[in-house]
Structure 1
Amino acid sequence: MAISLKDALNELPLVAILRGVTPEEVIAIADVLVEQGYKVIEVPLNSPRPYESIKLLSDKYGENLVIGAGTVVSKEQVDQVEIAGGRIIISPHADVEIIKYSKAKNLYCVPGFFNPTEAYAAIHAGADSLKLFPADTLGPKGLKAMSVVLPDIQILPVGGVSPDTMQAFIDAGASGFGLGSGLYKAGMSVEQVKHNALAYVQGYKSTLTVH
């Protein structure tokens, strides 16, 4: 039985976003992420040959991790992700049709939102969690104001999150984070990714000890 998104995020609520990753390097990078405890890996579809990377990751880690795609903006892309073995559809926006389509295929769906209207539309369409994007533009204050009126659903800020800003977002109602260029950028060495991955894990764990 493959790990569920809920269990994966309970273990470590950090989504590794590998924008720009190539199939040639994706397994080496995933290996160091797994070592650090990461359980959810997203390959944005504006990466080189993304479905190939998703297939490689799914073949190796599909049971123990939740593997899928980011920047999904069409139903055709949802189909391609599913064929490649991906189980999670992550979008920059709250497209109700894509959410419903993904859920009808029993895929996890984490759409992006920036205001309560988009959040409620996504929730009613069946979203599993929500991605606050771009998080650094709205900031913890904006999230705090919204989280008061939103129902109980996991909110994952994405965009400009650093280990130092995690606490403020957690205090404002965030449940976890999507980590982009601060974790991985195209051309980054495996050692650098390992260093960044550990920094984020430590940053998140430090929020658990603050009362």
Structure 2
Amino acid sequence: MDKEKYSNYMSPNTSFSFEKYAQMPVVGIIRGYDLETVKWIADSYQACGFFTLEITMNTAGATEIISALVKDYPEMNIGAGTVCNLKDYQNARDAGAQFIVTPIIDEAVIKAAVADKLPIFPGAYTPSEIYKAWSFGAMAVKIFPATQLGVSFIKDIKGPLKQIKVLPTGGVALENIRSFFEVGVYGVGMGSSLFPKNLIGLKDTAGLKEHFLAIKAELKG
């Protein structure tokens, strides 16, 4: 990240903790769970050394969940995902979201976040889209969906676009997470592979913590 861009996001007005993110550069994506369940997940998530959670805006009660998490988990980075337009962005910002994630490139949303000094990870797929998102001021670019592209694509684009920080999302799992970091990603986004529905459905706290720790161990090597 160039110094000017980085200093913008390091403003005293930015509540995103880069230190916590650096400790565990994984964005956990939560979609479709109610506040009680999200808090249950967050307790184990934080206890296992994960600090960055994204609540998608197409989750029922997303803004209320974001506000509650920001209040109750001050050691965590709580953000909003699936932000597709300025209305979504404004609702997320007003709820207290500490970072923004989009599945697409929306210039107005990216520039609004940059102006508000809110870290933003916009979604992009092709090299042209990735470069465009970065040039608009993104803190890092979410490569989405990474399922079809894989690690080799990330390695290839890091050649000519080595200055761009990327965050592959979709297809990252316990089995391959280390390989993404080996080619120099800024972080990864993980949804169902990080939050298995069977463990959550059973409220299996021990199983969920074991799963989180296995991913942490694989990442840390």
Q: Same fold (TM over 0.5)?
A: yes
Q: Secondary structure of 1:28's match?
A: helix
Describe how 1:112-191 pairs up with structure 2 within 5 A. Answer: 112-185=123-196, 187-188=200-201, 189-191=203-205
Q: How far did 1:190 drift? A: 5.0
Tell me what 1:35 maps to: 47
Q: 1:107 deviation in Å?
A: 1.2
Matched with 2:80 is 69
**1:14 CA drift (Å):** 0.8
Identity of aligned residues (%): 32
Partner deviation per Cα, 1:149-185 (whole Å, 9 max, x = no partner): 1142332211121111122222333232111101125
Q: 1:198 aligns with which of 190, 198, 213?
A: 213
Report SS of the residue matched to 1:136: coil
Instruction: Name 2:63's counterpart in structure 1.
Output: 51
Match of 1:82 among 93, 96, 118: 93
Corresponding position of 2:9: none
- On the 8 A contact 2:57/2:81 being kept in 1, the answer is yes
CA contact (8 A) 1:96 1:121 kept: no
TM-superposition CA deviations, 1:103-126 (whole Å, max 9, x none) = 112211011111111111111111
Query: Is 1:131–1:158's contact at 8 Å kept on the other side of the alignment?
Result: yes
- Do residues 11 (structure 1) and 26 (structure 2) align? no
Q: Distance in 2 between matches of 1:190 and 1:3?
A: 32
Calculate the TM-score normalised by the size of structure 2.
0.85
Instruction: State how far apart, in whole Å, the 1-side matches of 2:148 and 2:72 are.
Output: 36
> How many correspondences in the alignment?
205
Does the aligned pair in 2 maintain the 1:4–1:66 contact within 8 Å? yes
For the Cα contact (< 8 Å) 1:54–1:85, is it kept in 2?
Answer: yes
Secondary structure of the residue that 1:135 maps to in structure 2? coil
In the aligned structure 2, how far is the partner of 1:39 from the partner of 1:190? 20
Bigger Cα displacement from structure 2, 31-40 vs 150-159: 150-159
Structure 2 stretches of 5 or more lacking a match?
1-11
Deviations for 1:29-70, whole angstroms, at most 9, x for unmatched residues? 111111111121100112221111101101112x42211111
Local SS of the residue matching 2:172: coil
**One-letter amino acid matched to 2:215:** Y
TM-score, normalised to structure 1, is: 0.89
Most deviating of 89-98 and 1-10: 1-10
**Hey, what's the Cα distance between the residues in 1 that align with 2:165 and 2:208?**
26
* Unaligned segments of structure 1, at least 5 residues: 207-211
What do you get for the CA RMSD once the two structures are aligned? 1.8
Q: Cα gap change, 1:31/1:178 in structure 2, threshold over 3 Å: closer, same or farther?
A: same
Cα offset for 1:4?
3.4
Residue type at the aligned position of 1:50: A
Moved more, 184-193 or 46-55: 184-193
**Cα-to-partner distance string for 1:110-143 (whole Å, 9 max, x where unaligned):** 1111111111111111101111111121011111
